[in-house]
Structure 1
Amino acid sequence: MVNELSGKVAIVTGGASGIGRGIVERFHGEGAKVVIADIQDDLGETLAAELGGMAVYHHTDVSDQAHIAELIAATVRKFGALDVMVNNAGRSSPLKRGLFNEDFEEFDSVMRINVLGVMAGTRDAARYMAEHGGGSIINMSSIGGILAGGGVTSYRASKAAVIQFTKSAAIELAQWEIRVNCIAPGNIPTPLLQTAASDEDRERLEKFEARIRQQMRDDRPLKREGTPDDVAEATLYFATDRSRYVTGTVLPVDGGTVAGKVMPPRKPKQDG
């Protein structure tokens, strides 16, 4: 398919780097006008300049509801519409040596960015979409919000909250032809994990991350590596009319990790 988003206007929060950048580039390649919302001004402005007049950067701190409201208003002023809202911005919580050592010092920040940012972004986009024929809202969770596990407990809790909120919003907003869906990436190399390292852990981050990534590979049925492009492709599906009868869903993009335990490899059985 080519130009599936021609004539559409989209916002991607956290769009200056990582998965967000992959989504911005995919949407732009499909003909959308894209607003890159982020706090990384240099990266965001550079990306917008690379993409040209069909993309603009807007400084947005999603933990601040006033910023989100202004983002929606600025998008409509610039491009005259809003068809797709991708609430992608997020952060991890610090790595600690077990729950007993967790002080939840950054709990408020994690929840304001990962949960409040998604909730306010959904609400404000829906207010516009309800009066203009509907639209698509896509919220970014994580397999950490589906699978329980030790470590980064605030992050896991925040991503689980995104899933429940998405389903609830989908039910409420369906009457206005607003679809709300959720993507749960897993083992996609991005800078996010680096933000989880405390000063004490930072020197050992490379070795730690390599060990975690290897464990994720071992737990993943598909052995190919996931990329931001894989998440962008799934996001594109939810943004287009191909998913016009799909709402309230959670799509893991994780190589099958949440499906179950990996089976031991075996050779295909041959007759005779």
Structure 2
Amino acid sequence: MTKELSDRVAIVTGAAGGLGRAISEKFLEEGARVVLADVNKDAGESLAADLGPQARFQRTDVADPQQVQALVDFAVETFGGLHIMVNNAGVSGTMTDSFLNEDLTDFQRIMSINLLGVMHGTQAAGRHMAASGGGAIVNISSIGGTMANPGVPIYAASKAAVVHFSKGVAIDLAEHDIRVNCIAPGGIPTQLLSSATANPEMTKRIRAVMAAIQPMKRLGEARDVAEAVAYLVGDRSLHVTGTLLTVDGGTSAGMKRVVKPPTSVAPETETAAS
């Protein structure tokens, strides 16, 4: 079986989390060498040890452009190049019952990681790729940035901005043979939701609602997102750029039917006035 990403070097930010780990594992399965980036040093080093010699860890705060540039330099120096960049690192704000009660104190932190971090990663990787024959960049957004949801307005705004940024920069970088695409996961069980609610019972209830409105029966997994990322960075998508791919079991297309119509309906008849 041919490994689609053989001889390619990838960076995955937020690699120590659920989505980041799954993406990194998929890349390694497909023959890539992977630099794992995360702000959590212990978790990142542990993951690198689990994944083997084709994976290396570099502690990185994506909100700091100098650290992001150092990350790209590390990948090039360690593995000889950089062909794939996945800007996956992200945080959520604390869920509130109403925007009127939101104090907006998380704004700078959320935007600096979720949006500026994506911008820093795209720019630093893009500069290397432009000078080296091209590459592929995937930015991780969320269906929270594509459809209206209450409770985490800053998070939703940051993820919506990632979508629009990705489309715009895809146009700008196309001349350098750099593809930029965006993925919006939805209903994937990760620690991000737990950090937003800070309440296990609330997290459980929200996940139950997500499952109830999702059209597909099977719940999504981090592996589903990883497969989508692998497609967008591989040779099967060489003419795909500026695209938003949702991985949400159909949720963003519309909620599933709860009440089914009758199997047959008798035709109505009209009586002509005499």
Shift of 1:215: 1.0
Shift of 1:249: 0.3
In the other structure, the counterpart of 2:78 is 78
- Greater Cα shift, 49-58 or 226-235: 49-58
> Aligned pair count?
264
**C-alpha contact 2:137 2:178 (8 A) present in aligned 1:** yes
Shift of 1:219: 1.4
Note the alpha carbon deviations across 1:184-212, whole angstroms, 9 max, x for none.
00010001112213xxxx3xx11111111
In the other structure, the counterpart of 2:182 is 182
In the other structure, the counterpart of 1:233 is 227
In the aligned structure 2, how far is the partner of 1:208 from the partner of 1:47?
A: 29
In the aligned structure 2, how far is the partner of 1:239 from the partner of 1:46?
A: 26
Shift of 1:263: 2.2
In the other structure, the counterpart of 1:259 is 253
Structure 2 alignment gaps of length 5 or more? 264-274
In the other structure, the counterpart of 1:195 is 195
Shift of 1:266: 5.5
Shift of 1:142: 0.1
Residue identity matched to 2:244: V
Shift of 1:17: 1.9
* Paired residue secondary structure (2:115): helix
Note the alpha carbon deviations across 1:78-131, whole angstroms, 9 max, x for none.
011000000000000111221111001111000000000001100110000001
TM-score (norm 2): 0.93
In the other structure, the counterpart of 1:45 is 45
State how 1:1-272 maps to structure 2 within 5 Å: 2-197=2-197, 202=198, 205-264=199-258
In the aligned structure 1, how far is the partner of 2:182 from the partner of 2:74?
A: 25
In the aligned structure 2, how far is the partner of 1:166 from the partner of 1:147?
A: 17
* Paired residue secondary structure (2:174): helix
Shift of 1:52: 1.5
Shift of 1:167: 0.1
In the aligned structure 2, how far is the partner of 1:10 from the partner of 1:147?
A: 30
Q: Which runs of 4+ in 1 moved over 2 A?
A: 263-267
TM-score (norm 1): 0.94
* Paired residue secondary structure (1:109): helix
Residue identity matched to 1:26: K
RMSD of equivalent CA atoms: 1.6
In the aligned structure 2, how far is the partner of 1:44 from the partner of 1:29?
A: 19
Shift of 1:50: 1.6
| Higher Rg | 2
